[in-house]
Amino acid sequence: MATGIIELLVLAEDDHHLISYLRDNANVMVIPVLNVDGFLQTQRTPGKNWMGTDPDNPEYSPRDGRMRRKNMLGPDEDLLTQGDHLLGVDLNRNNPPYWATNPNRSSGQPNSIVHHGASAQSEPETQALEAAAYLAPVNRLSMYTDLHSFSQVHAWVRNDNNRLASLTERLLGTFSDHHVAFDAGKYYWFADRNNVSRNQGIGLTEEFFTHTYQVPSWTLEIEPSQGHPDRPGNGADYGGLSRNGHDGFILPDSEVERVRTELAQSFTVAYYQQSGPPSIVAARFIDKQTGAVVFEGEWDVSSETTRELHSWQAQPLQLDRDYTFWLAYDKPMRWRNNGEVTALPGQPISSIQNLINVMEVGDDRLTTNFGQPLWLDEPGEAPAGFLRYRDDALSSDFLIPADDNNNGLVSGTVMATLLHLAADMTSSRVDADPSTVARWENGGWSGYENSEGNDLTDSGGTDSTIQLQVTSDTLEDPFVIEAGTSSAWYDQDRTGEGFMLEILPDNRAVMYWFTYDGDGNQDWYMAAGEIRGNRILFPQLVQVSGGEFGPGFDPGKVTRSVVGSASFIWSDCDSGAMDWLIDKDGNGRRHGRMNLKRLTRVMGIDCGMVSLPPEIATGRLSGSWYDLTHSGEGYVLEVLIDQRVLVYWFSYDPQGNRRWFYGVGKIQGSKIVFNNMATTHGGIFGAGFDPDQVVIDPWGTLELELACSSGTARFTPSEAGFPAGTLNLKRLTLLDGLSCD
């Protein structure tokens, strides 16, 4: 069973759904065997064991050899050595807080099958079990299970924490209801919390985790059954004679794959429930006529326990205008059977019907037409794709009609509140306040508020945190990206880093990000993206490595790694915003935002104006250029409306570190001359960036001689270690709105 869990989580195909979600968001600590020495003894003597010598159960309990229960404290490995085979400690009697408290089921006698050891956690195995919990880390632990055989039940105990007892019972119900829905129909019975022993035990591992760490904990007694009214019990479940209970320990070969595979799947559902309740992470309203996003609200994780709401609105929502409403959560919310959304096996159909969207102005409800919600099972983000996992987002048509009710509530521009209620596939309702990250603490969920804003209720409720503007005015169409969006862009609070953006034909775009690493050294990323209205999505942010400046450059050594994603959005020609996510470059998952301002205007395609042909032939050369033998580095060129030329050279140093150099040059006949190329150092990637720490250093000179599709670059660096040289260039991109013959 334990290896079945490992294999499912490690080897299953990436499904962009439940398994993918757990891989990204849960630490599952699996210890395949606790009694390692006893297990090895079982393997050494698979066909033999000692019976008839147990003073407590002489005809029932094997004492050594196959199915050895106790550890090997005292006995040797020779099964024929009779004087020591009764020794050892039952590791499931060696745990506090109820060690040695029940003489009927735990014994101080070394020869007893349930010998509890010299003291609580006296054995290295039980000490190692607790140490493993700290790897999780232990302060985030939210569930523990001990796998045993047999009797097909969940065995659990409880303390005085009623929340923990209630949530444990609910979790066991999710597990059992899911498992009985398989074709084999195996129900794992458990006692309700009113009939579970309180504050007493026999030294089990699950008792230790219940009382010490306040998490749902239980012993899973795997098949076959024992005492189930609809089952013959023990080996008779599979047609055997059931001569004693131990023929049930060994499943027939024909049953093993079913048991381990199906139980592993039920465990993933339990892990999904205990990974945390759902919360809204993003909401967008998209203008149907233009495809522009007019409102977006996103919850950014700001610490381990908090989130911060980021809201952006290009224009108010208008009455009687058609929009698409798109909403995303922090986990997959729905189950599918043959491609169709359905209730998770074992859950009632009502679990997928509990979804409510309304909008209010003050305490008054607007008349709103939310269409039938469509859960999204294809990637691509808003408006028709999921955010990160299949069915973690939904979309619907949306309209605020100009009826008498709304005309009375909306005069000019007012603030409206979106109220949303939903439940995930295990019927856990959304966190009503995503600003506090729901997490397991002291036997229940902390930061998981209900509709009234009350914490520690473990119930969730209606999210009313998204607010946006609504207007009765008739507005012009929202801004959409045009050819003149090609420009250099930067955040005014982050002078010293920024972006070169190229708008290409067919709703494509290319972005180059000149920035830094965490130590003040230059770094850069690149991405190709898709234009949607006023947004550009860059699903693959690429980091390039392996280059070397100068004649030693070998394109065969260059590697390109996808390390994250980014998206840009604009409200007009001169201002916008971007957000980025990097989670695959070895520095942990990082996220950030920037408010963007235009830095340049490209000749021939100025934004918001009639696009005129370039005033001079050189004006048609804006775009990206590279040497075919130096694939992995290149130039981004912008001929500006005042006939100056901006260039960024994304390259490396002679040691292979990513570097970039830039300059503003002049057109001199058939050449573009950059007499003062510069470089920088001192910037810090992300939140630690300080523009005052950025230092500009001289780098050298560059001369470009270009025709429409080819040309030459000649450079003379002044920075030590960089050789002078020449590159033969080819055009890589031609900006939308320009032509060059």
Q: Could you tell me which residues come within 8 angstroms of residue 382 by beta carbon, excluding any fewer than 6 positions away?
A: 282, 284, 286, 293, 324, 326, 328, 393, 395
Whole-number pLDDT of residue 476:
95
Is 234 inside any structural domain? no
Average pLDDT over residues 261-278: 98
In what helix (H) or strand (E) does residue 18 lie, and over which residues does it extend?
helix 18-25
Tell me: do 508 and 631 sit in the same domain.
Answer: yes
Average pLDDT of the chain, as a whole number? 95
Domain encompassing residue 437: 280-471
Give per-residue pLDDT as tens, 386-438: 999 999 999 999 999 999 999 999 999 999 999 999 999 999 999 999 999 99
Tell me: do 369 and 501 sit in the same domain.
Answer: no
Tell me: do 427 and 517 sit in the same domain.
Answer: no
Whole-model pTM: value is: 0.92
Whole-number pLDDT of residue 490:
98
Is 10 inside any structural domain? no
Residue 38, SS3?
Answer: helix
Whole-number pLDDT of residue 610:
67
Is 147 inside any structural domain? no
Give per-residue pLDDT as tens, 81-96: 888 888 999 999 999 9
Whole-number pLDDT of residue 163:
98
Instruction: Give 421's strand partners.
Output: 356
Share of the chain above pLDDT 90, in %: 87
Tell me: do 450 and 597 sit in the same domain.
Answer: no
Average pLDDT over residues 53-79: 83
Nearest in space to 702 (alpha carbons), one of 718, 711, 714? 714
Give per-residue pLDDT as tens, 365-389: 999 999 999 999 999 999 999 999 9
Side chain identity at residue 577, one-letter code:
A
Is 445 inside any structural domain? yes
Share of the chain above pLDDT 70, in %: 99
Give per-residue pLDDT as tens, 234-260: 889 998 888 777 777 778 899 999 999
Give per-residue pLDDT as tens, 473-524: 999 999 999 999 999 999 999 999 999 999 999 999 999 999 999 999 999 9
Is 698 inside any structural domain? yes
Tell me: do 452 and 529 sit in the same domain.
Answer: no
Tell me phi and psi for residue 534, to 5 degrees: -105, 15
Is 502 inside any structural domain? yes
Q: What would the DSSP string read from start to end of 327-379?
A: EEESS---EEETTEEEPPTTS-GGGGT--EEEEEETTEEPP-EE---EE--SB
Whole-number pLDDT of residue 57:
73
Is 391 inside any structural domain? yes
Tell me: do 683 and 545 sit in the same domain.
Answer: yes
Average pLDDT over residues 144-169: 96
Tell me: do 551 and 692 sit in the same domain.
Answer: yes
Tell me: do 433 and 511 sit in the same domain.
Answer: no
Give per-residue pLDDT as tens, 551-601: 999 999 999 999 999 999 999 999 999 999 998 887 778 899 999 999 999
Q: Is the pLDDT of residue 58 over 90?
A: no
Last residue within a domain, chosen from 451, 471, 491: 471
Tell me: do 581 and 517 sit in the same domain.
Answer: yes
Tell me phi and psi for residue 366, to 5 degrees: -75, 150
Give per-residue pLDDT as tens, 311-320: 999 999 999 9
Whole-number pLDDT of residue 67:
84
Tell me: do 523 and 616 sit in the same domain.
Answer: yes
Is beta strand 307-313 parallel, antiparallel or unpaired with respect to 293-301?
antiparallel
Residue appearing with tokens 């050595």: 81
Give per-residue pLDDT as tens, 606-646: 898 766 778 899 999 999 999 999 999 999 999 999 999 99
Is 58 inside any structural domain? no
Tell me: do 449 and 505 sit in the same domain.
Answer: no
3-state percent breakdown (helix, strand, coil) of the chain, nearest 5: 20, 35, 45
Whole-number pLDDT of residue 587:
77
DSSP state of 477: P
Last residue within a domain, chosen from 471, 499, 528: 471
**Pair of tokens at residue 36:** 């390692």
Q: Is the pLDDT of residue 679 over 80?
A: yes
Last residue within a domain, chosen from 419, 442, 471: 471
**Number of structural domains, the chain?**
2
Whole-number pLDDT of residue 242:
81
Tell me: do 511 and 452 sit in the same domain.
Answer: no
